[in-house]
Structure 1
């Protein structure tokens, strides 16, 4: 199961690389689209932060999703983001044969303070993948508002969305 989850994540991360290869740096950093005025780069950085929290917390068995680094270089430098994705993919592949038959403590703030719950590695990785897809959808909204038409099949859509409604950006 872990192998399939990591393969799915890496497929989605490859879609992010395809996107970054298809847009210029100004588009990556553009913050002109409301209502949130966030850039494509800030959404990419945010999704990478989520994965980094997982990686950084595994050894201590304490993943803190509120301890994001928010490295602004990833928000503004496409090359740095692409390299970060490659490094992340390599790390994720290294987990395929690691014993994960235990519960992992995951801390997050759901709006009323921090709370810690138990996950498996498979469940937190699945959560991170869904989280990335959600942000990819927002990126699609930004691109549409900027009048940029890029086709990456399935980008920003949950795989359970019916195919006739899942065009991608």
Structure 2
């Protein structure tokens, strides 16, 4: 079965069998999508919408929406070379409805499959606010490859926060959920 078929059939564990010929940055994004899909398939709607206070102020759904928004920002490529990480869909239905999140992760996975090694060096202009006290955005140049690495790393850090919510709710998940790839390599003995 092809990875794309696995995603379209909602089989998150098969997503991990993505083509080893894909660029590392793409594989990282696919790994994130697989982790998100595996988690979303195990959660109830109530768990997806639970606020694990006082530890967190956001639901798993709100974290998923935020992660998806950051990923969506780079999907402006190839139509545009401008990425605005501040475009957010606060209060979007994806925050409450995990089925929408599942569909969006599947769509993102399909987009990732279109990216080739030569695309990674595409220059992009990245915008993001940098101050809490002033409305100031930094616009810098980057590459598609660098931004793919960033959005995957950003997602893993939010997965770590989601893990706090899971623990507070007594929900078990994969040991590696929310773990940085370099930490997983360390635990595997550096292979």
TM-score (norm 2): 0.78
- Alignment counterpart, residue 127 of structure 1, candidates 139, 145, 150: 150
Unaligned runs of 5+ in 2: 1-20
Q: Map 1:55-134 onto structure 2 (within 5 A).
A: 55-56=75-76, 58-70=78-90, 72-96=92-116, 99-111=119-131, 112=134, 113-134=136-157
Q: Map 1:10-89 onto structure 2 (within 5 A).
A: 10-56=30-76, 58-70=78-90, 72-89=92-109
> Following the alignment from structure 2 to structure 1, what is the Cα–Cα distance between the partners of residues 112 and 72?
11
- Alignment counterpart, residue 159 of structure 2, candidates 105, 129, 136: 136
Contact (CA 8 Å) 2:52, 2:168: kept in 1 or not?
no
Query: Number of aligned pairs?
Result: 163
Unaligned runs of 5+ in 1: 165-169
2:187 maps to 163
> Matched residue of 2:23: which SS?
helix
1:151 correspondence with 2:173 = yes
Quickly say closer, same or farther: Cα 1:95–1:151, change in 2 above 3 A.
same
2:13 maps to none
> Following the alignment from structure 1 to structure 2, what is the Cα–Cα distance between the partners of residues 131 and 51?
9
1:65-111 Cα offsets, whole Å, 9 max, x none, are: 01123362111111110011000110111122664433210000122
Instruction: Say what the alpha-carbon RMSD is for the aligned residues.
Output: 2.0
> Following the alignment from structure 1 to structure 2, what is the Cα–Cα distance between the partners of residues 88 and 8?
12
Contact (CA 8 Å) 2:124, 2:141: kept in 1 or not?
yes
Contact (CA 8 Å) 1:50, 1:128: kept in 2 or not?
yes
> Matched residue of 2:121: which SS?
coil
**1:31 Cα shift?**
1.7
TM-score (norm 1): 0.87
